Chain A
């Protein structure tokens, strides 16, 4: 039972880390709270359904979605950054309201084009991993592995590439970065696109183990907020550690007690963090 709890928790943690990472990056670099983040995740899942439906094949549909969904969502993110967020000068209060607006627009457009029902997407590969005590979906393990790869990819991007350097510079001090010739406007657009793309990628990965529906963005949004607050706003390492903390504790508490208790404790933990260490476990203190 402990094993299952850990296994289930680990899978949850990887996916959560991937979703929360985008939110954390956007906050860290741009200093805005993107309430529409969950909708980018939902769009990834919904686009995955379209890819599956269009190709009529689980594997090709999955590959197509994996390649195309993050790009489409990235483009949507860039457009909303360019024409909405930039117009309100990234003002924290205005961006919250603006992204709430984006949330509703995306959700309602999806409702109109995709319909209200939950639609299944077949997993690209389907196998059961049989443990001595129970069986487990092989695809879920694959999701965890692929999320892990994506996380490594982002890590390398942040630490080794020029874009990553620019991002970190902008995150540390926007004005000084601009003075040193960092194209911060482009960086903002890239970060917002990257955040959206990562969420969409998570959506594509997750949709075969649940189903695509237009309301599925809410839960990951809340969990991402919890993770990002605990981990420290803008901290990559903090986000990943917090995702594991939440994912695994959620797994264990849900198995042995109640899933609702797991959510309550996670929320309680957020409150404690906000009181004791407002910057999060690995975040900088707010100025």
Chain B
């Protein structure tokens, strides 16, 4: 794609945004604080040509092995694609971007070691890219001690809760609390009010448990069961039997190597959606978070029972779910086909609802570096304060998932969410939330904490 085409794509994305008026908070966002995604700044290219050849070094804490390996693979591909593209348009503030990747084995203890290694041995400018919440919880304190900005792409509520420190940001992927807040009412009013929760037995799962319960209490729905499953479990039947008879909806979210087995055994246990009717006397419905099926082909044998069920998606896996020019550009650049699989191997299904966070976060770092005039580690304070001053990011090539509202207090963004239904062997978007649907009152203020 040449420069002219890129400009066109970017303009189209802006148009798409204004046409759809995604943001009910639109007026506020149109204000001065919003960061534009006009990446194609002609000056940037000149600066890169003439500028410093000292790269901006970004340490990528990757889950290459362990239970997060599937996500890790896609996070790495997305990161490399984004870095390549950023370099092709002039880098960050005229400096090339260099990604230094270290595997943390999806292990909290190794996570902290990796942060340290990246910071002290590789002397990176920033650490970035962690997904699994327990690894973030294990690594973030070390980043705080080493006083190095740490940009996570995780979903856990740990950043916004105030549990971490001022060096940790989650600027481009929404947290579980926000996702649930955005879709809970849709679930209760469209699927049913008696909900059984199935979630992984660690931090990320507890966010689901706590905020789904809170949302239910608020809207008069009832949680009939809270079933925690260890992320390394390999057999699940025993958990399904704990779902009580008065349940209307099974709300499921699973991660780890067993996800396919999990969903399959759910089908074996309850049968097709028709047989679900025999469960108690009611029609049992399924609402899943796409995490239960990230990287899994929806047409795998044994998943037929999912037909008609609903899933939350952060970014629609199928290209027709959110057909904007920026989305298409992003999809093509990372190398994903229209059904959400790798272009080179249709069996290699992407973690599409998570990996965009890597792409967008690198652009957010770019914005922060350029706006703050960051040169080296001594400028961390300015960079962090600049970042905290951001109020959002506009939709465009830099933010293909959609516009974001950013809270400097919580270091966390809000964004739109999607609800998709499985029909004819694919995900079909049936509902898109506004950004405001997922917003909640900040519970912390990192800007008041010391650096």
B residues neighboring A (CB under 8 Å): 64-66, 69-70, 72-73, 230, 232-235, 237-238, 240-242, 257-258, 260-261, 264-265, 268-271, 275, 295, 300-302
Residues of A within 8 A of B275 (CB): 135
Q: Does A111 contact B (CB under 8 A)?
A: yes
State the CA gap A240–B295 with chains docked (Å): 38
State the CA gap A209–B236 with chains docked (Å): 10
Using known A-B contacts A4-B238, A8-B237, A260-B230, determine if residue A116 contacts B271 with beta carbons closer than 8 Å.
no
Knowing A136-B268, A211-B260 are in contact, say whether A1-B301 is a contact too (CB < 8 A).
no
**Taking A135-B268, A135-B271 as contacts, is the C-beta distance between A8 and B70 under 8 angstroms?**
no
Partner of B269, one of A126, A136, A210: A136
- Report yes or no: A120 in contact with B70, Cβ–Cβ below 8 A: no
CB of B114, distance to nearest CB on chain A (Å): 15
Sample of 17 more A-B contacts, CB < 8 Å, known A120-B261, A251-B238: A4-B237, A5-B238, A8-B235, A8-B238, A111-B65, A115-B69, A116-B65, A116-B66, A116-B72, A117-B70, A126-B302, A136-B237, A209-B261, A210-B234, A211-B257, A216-B257, A259-B230
- Contact sample, A vs B, 15 pairs, CB 8 Å cutoff: A4-B237, A4-B241, A116-B64, A117-B73, A118-B257, A120-B260, A128-B271, A130-B271, A135-B268, A210-B257, A211-B258, A213-B69, A251-B238, A255-B238, A255-B242
What number of A-B contacts does a CB cutoff of 8 Å give? 80
Q: Which of A5, A117, A209, A251 has the most CB of B within 10 A?
A: A117
Q: Which residues of A contact B257 (CB under 8 A)?
A: 117-118, 210-211, 213, 216
Expressed in whole angstroms, the Cα–Cα distance for A254 and B236 within the complex equals: 10
Is B232 a contact of A118 with CB atoms below 8 Å?
no
Rounded to whole Å, the gap between the CB of A224 and the closest CB of chain B is 15
Alpha-carbon distance between A135 and B276 when the two chains are bound, in angstroms: 11
Question: Which of chain B's residues have a CB closer than 8 A to the CB of A64?
Answer: none
Nearest A residue to B269, CB-CB: A134
**Contact of B235 with A210 in the complex, beta carbons under 8 Å:** yes
Q: Mark A223-262, 1 if CB is under 8 A from B, else 0.
A: 0000000000000000000000000000100110001100
Q: Which of B238, B261, B265, B269 contacts A211 (CB 8 A)?
A: B261
B255 vs chain A, min Cβ distance (A):
11
Which residues in A have some Cβ–Cβ distance to B below 8 Å?
Answer: 1, 4-5, 8, 12, 111, 115-118, 120, 122, 126, 128, 130, 134-137, 209-211, 213-216, 219, 251, 254-255, 259-260
**In the complex, A260 Cα to B202 Cα: how many Å?**
13
B104 to chain A, nearest CB (A): 12
Q: How far is the CA of A136 from the CA of B235 in the complex (A)?
A: 12
Chain A residue nearest in CB terms to B260 = A120
Contacts of A255 in B (CB 8 A): 238, 241-242
Q: Say yes or no: A134-B241 contact (C-beta < 8 A), given A8-B235, A259-B233.
A: yes
**What residues on B are CB-neighbors of A251 within 8 Å?**
238
CB of A272, distance to nearest CB on chain B (Å): 24
Q: Find out whether the CB atom of B265 lies under 8 angstroms from the CB atom of A137.
A: yes
Asked whether A117 lies within 8 Å of B238 as measured between CB atoms, the reply is no
Which residues of B lie under 8 Å from residue A134 when comparing CB positions?
Answer: 240-241, 269-270
Q: Which of A1, A136, A210 contacts B258 (CB 8 A)?
A: A210
Inter-subunit contact B268/A137 (CB<8 Å): yes
Cβ contacts under 8 Å, A216 to chain B: 234, 257
